[in-house]
Amino acid sequence: MLFRKELYDSHCDLNLLLIGDADMKEINFLRRGKGKTTDVLSFPLEFDLAPLSSVLQQRKGKSSSALPPITLGEIVISIDTLKKQALEIGHSEKEEFYRLLVHGFLHLLGYDHERGEEEEQVMKDKEDECLEILQGL
């Protein structure tokens, strides 16, 4: 459903890795130089939204079943942090999983809350929209 909304029904692939805090801390240090764990990390194959948007433009009007899938990248979620945050926030682990998945997915598409307040709000609005779609399933 998220792919349909953001990627115009294109077939897509992504990797999802569920790990513990110790492994997340190591990945966060190796990839980002931060010596602490985190809830979710995303590693897009495209680092700029422009190439992805141009691929999508080329696919407009073509049958998505006849085209190869777009490989978006990888989302890594710490199950340990997911459980802690669900408890702190007061919702289920399933809801927290979806929140982190959506957050990571949007990063793969080029959204970034660390580029300033305006982009942070755009990403937050997109997260809310995607989570509403998931709640309706």
Arch. (CATH architecture) of 2-135: 3-Layer(aba) Sandwich (3.40)
> Is 108's pLDDT higher than 70?
yes
pLDDT in the model for residue 46: 62
pLDDT in the model for residue 84: 98
Residues 107 and 112: their CA atoms lie apart, in Å, by 6
pLDDT digits (tens, 9 = 90+) for 41-93: 999 886 555 556 666 677 777 776 677 777 889 999 999 999 999 999 999 99
How would you classify the pairing of strands 12-19 and 70-78?
parallel
**pLDDT range class, residue 20, cuts 50, 70, 90:** very high
Amino acid at 45: L
| Strands, sheet with 70-78, edge to edge from the N-terminal-most edge strand | 12-19, 70-78, 40-44
pLDDT in the model for residue 42: 95
In 10 A of CB 66, how many CB atoms?
8
Which residues neighbour 125 within 8 Å (Cβ) at sequence distance 6 or greater? none
> Is 100's pLDDT higher than 90?
yes
Domain parsing of the chain, residue ranges: 2-135
